[in-house]
Structure 1
């Protein structure tokens, strides 16, 4: 297999058959040693974070596939911390889609003059460009269309899929007494069908979850969610 991309939290390899292999790392995003799913830098390394992220991602992706929501998952190998996925193309150099149920993180930093910490939000969806040099700037529907990154029809499909997937995850967390505050998702186009599909991961590393008002760390989240 050929190394195609070294990311902050995963490395990407192309397999001989055209599929791809994601190798999950123990690095997580954050700043100054503090985890932050919205950060665009690696903030710290947590032993076991890679396998934990893969376990939870596999848990959610298998449930989403069963529910008829398209993802890039083919199979997972927890021991090797790898996931085999379908080939997909990203929009431009990549987009991140955040769904927010409460005001925390970068939303609160931007809109703190009007929002209070933890304020309830109605599945607020925002799209940001994956661009470390420009600190992952938010981008509007009109700008996405004008820059030929997404058509308005694709944006509507992306927004609808984001709300459905995020609510699905929120409901699953609620079964364990957890509340989802926000979640970051990524999408791409299936290289064979051109359908918009969910890519990357769904783990403690790309969401904020709380229990009785207390933040749950990514590794603890995986333990709670996968406990029998």
Structure 2
């Protein structure tokens, strides 16, 4: 294997024959900084939840998965053998509820990514319909920055931009509908797409996980306040109580925060997939 990239959470390797090995670690990243404390089983939980969604959504869009089992033994359970993609430099975000950076933009502009929204909305309000709010993958600040749909058109062309928007909303709606039946609200999600060797637009990276989405318990949803999070928002909220300035190095998480984070990831995995998490899968 040839190591080709280390991200905040995942590592990429090139395998003999040109396939890509995407390995999810137990690292946690918030505000674009990897924290020094791992969360046990997190890489496996993300990988297996993504694999479940990739399979469920395969009729909607092609994805990069070749195999979740034909991987080196040392990475079993937390790695995916993938097709190489030429990644599109846009974070494709669908929002069904007003929260996070979307809420901040709305309070400032009454819009998110140029999408005008009704006045009077509060934190965690459900939007009239899901909206496409892309951000940059690369910026001079090192952080994601909002783009308008017109910006995406200028970057990739109208046809591809339309497809990115439509697929992002379709995947979000399909995921949100399934999750809600199991007591989970998917408030928003981030997707990444690339072009495969045949020129086909393909879903890559991860899909509808606790790292890429906001998950809330539906029976506790109350607009106008912070929601209980089954995702890494819990870690973001904790980090803000430490006095950390959101620049490297990040703060170490105490054991109780690590365990609470793990339990949230396990619970949302079990609710969405209907499978009991088995520690033997988390190699």
Question: Given the two structures, how large is their TM-score scaled by the length of structure 1?
Answer: 0.87
> Are the structure 2 counterparts of residues 109 and 42 from structure 1 closer, same or farther at C-alpha, using a change threshold of 3 Å?
farther
Of the two structures, which has the highest relative contact order with CA contacts closer than 8 Å and spacing of 6 or more?
2
Query: How far has the Cα of 1:80 moved from its partner?
Result: 4.1
Q: Name the structure 2 match of 1:35.
A: none
Query: How far has the Cα of 1:3 moved from its partner?
Result: 0.8
Q: Is contact 1:204-1:219 (8 Å) kept?
A: no
Q: Distance in 2 between matches of 1:19 and 1:79?
A: 16
Q: Is contact 2:48-2:77 (8 Å) kept?
A: no
In structure 1, which of residues 193, 197, 203 is the aligned counterpart of residue 198 of structure 2? 193
Greater shift, 19-28 or 131-140, is seen at: 131-140
Q: Name the structure 1 match of 2:45.
A: 52
Q: Distance in 2 between matches of 1:101 and 1:171?
A: 11
Q: Is contact 1:18-1:87 (8 Å) kept?
A: yes
Query: Secondary structure of the residue that 1:136 maps to in structure 2?
Result: coil
2:177 is aligned with 1:180: no
Query: How far has the Cα of 1:24 moved from its partner?
Result: 0.5
Q: Name the structure 2 match of 1:75.
A: 67
Q: Name the structure 2 match of 1:125.
A: 132
Q: Distance in 1 between matches of 2:107 and 2:149?
A: 23
Q: After superposition, what is the alpha-carbon deviation per residue over 1:12-34, rounded to whole angstroms, capped at 9, x for unaligned?
A: 1111111100010112332xxxx
> Which structure carries more strand by proportion?
1
Q: Distance in 2 between matches of 1:159 and 1:58?
A: 22
Q: Is contact 2:94-2:188 (8 Å) kept?
A: yes
* Equivalence map 1:156-167=2 (5 Å): 156-167=162-173
Query: Secondary structure of the residue that 2:67 maps to in structure 1?
Result: strand
Q: Distance in 1 between matches of 2:50 and 2:64?
A: 11
In structure 2, which of residues 248, 267, 270 is the aligned counterpart of residue 220 of structure 1? 267
Q: Name the structure 2 match of 1:2.
A: 2
2:147 is aligned with 1:139: yes
Query: Secondary structure of the residue that 2:45 maps to in structure 1?
Result: helix
* Structure 2 unaligned blocks of 5 or more: 70-74, 111-120, 222-227, 231-263, 276-283
Q: Is contact 2:4-2:14 (8 Å) kept?
A: yes
Q: After superposition, what is the alpha-carbon deviation per residue over 1:143-171, rounded to whole angstroms, capped at 9, x for unaligned?
A: 3343xx31111000100110111111112
RMSD of the alignment, in Å?
A: 1.8
> Are the structure 2 counterparts of residues 27 and 152 from structure 1 closer, same or farther at C-alpha, using a change threshold of 3 Å?
same
Greater shift, 218-227 or 121-130, is seen at: 218-227
Q: Distance in 2 between matches of 1:132 and 1:155?
A: 19
Query: How far has the Cα of 1:132 moved from its partner?
Result: 6.0
Q: Name the structure 1 match of 2:118.
A: none
Greater gyration radius:
2
Query: How far has the Cα of 1:62 moved from its partner?
Result: 0.8
Q: Is contact 1:29-1:40 (8 Å) kept?
A: yes
Q: Distance in 2 between matches of 1:132 and 1:6?
A: 18
